[in-house]
Structure 1
Amino acid sequence: MSYPLVKRVSHRRLGEMLRMMLSDQVYFDLTLEEGRTLSRAFTAVAHDWRRTDFIYLSPVGADVEFSAAVAQDGVRVETADGGRHLNWDDVTELAERLAVE
């Protein structure tokens, strides 16, 4: 399986959600609105990374928060097992998938 990716999942109380997967073990479950919000944030930093230092989201359907430092070469997502680097191609691809799904 190629990462990062986005797929639809179902939550027993929140209904249809998006799972943004950075690996088999690292993923974030997002409501559809949270997915669109993160898509807009990814798009904004991909177009001009100098305008912000950090992206943060606390998804309602998950126990983990999404936090990522923005840098010249992409974003570094902080996870429980360390960080994951997403280059600008990854960021752009996730923005498109989160907006469409």
Structure 2
Amino acid sequence: MSAWTVTAVSHRMLGPMIRLEFGEGPGFDLTAQEAGILARALAAVREGKSPVDEVYMSPIASNGDFSGKVAPDGINVAAAEPISLGWDEVDKMAAALAALAG
């Protein structure tokens, strides 16, 4: 199980944002629209509605890109040390992103 958090933050120029962080790993500041899109993409992959092998997003307010390779047992988020998320975690992350995205 990986440690990740989803929190509401404020960007000095862009205003309200949603921060997705992976413990000591990467962090991403997302607009509400980006968080909603990522939440729907993660849910679609989890539910088998999207046959993609990667979930990718380049958030406007982040220095890095979110890239998650789809595996049979979940998603592996690209980082110096890849972060493995099981499907239950993917569900929880999608729900947390969607809740803050509105």
**Fold conserved (TM > 0.5)?**
yes
Does the 8 Å contact 1:20/1:28 carry over to 2?
yes
Does the 8 Å contact 1:49/1:70 carry over to 2?
no
1:8 aligns with 2:8: yes
TM-score by length of 1: 0.91
Instruction: Return the structure number with greater strand share.
Output: 1
- Displaced runs of 4+ in structure 1, greater than 6 A? none
**Unaligned runs of at least 5 residues, structure 1:** none
Residue correspondences, number: 99
Tell me the CA shift for residue 4 of structure 1. Answer: 1.8
Amino acid of the residue matched to residue 84 of structure 2? H
Tell me the CA shift for residue 50 of structure 1. Answer: 7.1
Amino acid of the residue matched to residue 28 of structure 1? F
Aligned Cα RMSD in Å?
1.6
Structure 2 match to 1:51: 51
Structure 2 match to 1:62: 62
Aligned equivalents of 1:42 and 1:50: distance in 2?
9
Aligned equivalents of 2:87 and 2:65: distance in 1?
21
Aligned equivalents of 1:25 and 1:54: distance in 2?
19
TM-score by length of 2: 0.90
Aligned equivalents of 2:52 and 2:96: distance in 1?
22
Does the 8 Å contact 1:49/1:72 carry over to 2?
no
Does the 8 Å contact 1:77/1:85 carry over to 2?
yes
Task: State the identity %.
Answer: 38
Aligned with 1:98: secondary structure? helix
1:100 aligns with 2:102: no
Aligned equivalents of 1:48 and 1:6: distance in 2?
24
Question: Cα deviations across residues 10-67 of structure 1 (Å, max 9, x unaligned)?
Answer: 1001100001111144211111100000000010011017711001000000110001
Aligned equivalents of 1:49 and 1:84: distance in 2?
23
